[in-house]
Amino acid sequence: PSPKSFQPNGASEEALRCEIEELKQKDLALDQEIGQLLSEGYSLEELDKHISLLHEYNEIKDAGQMLLGKLAVIRGVTTKQLYPEYDLELSD
């Protein structure tokens, strides 16, 4: 079989090369951002802790949004209409 038959969804070799290059650029940008944070006095352990806390926060927020959604369905209203009742801002 030709090499093209192994490419997912018929993606061209050039498209894959571009995607690899984009990923390399993102990796470089992230390395630079980490370097900047380290130069500002942050430690890798501190950054890992912040990332872990952000993940936990997002999971809790998602659960809250899910509960608000279910409550809204039960009451026959939109979730937006529930926000004032629970002292939530639309940006929450």
- Residue range 44-73, pLDDT digits in tens: 888 889 899 999 999 999 999 999 999 999
CB-based contact 82:68 (threshold 8 Å):
yes
> For position 27, what pLDDT does the model report?
96
The pLDDT confidence band at residue 13, using thresholds 50, 70 and 90, is confident
Say what the pTM is.
0.53
What's the Cα-to-Cα distance from 21 to each of 12, 14, 27, 37, 50, rounded to whole Å?
A: 14, 11, 10, 24, 29
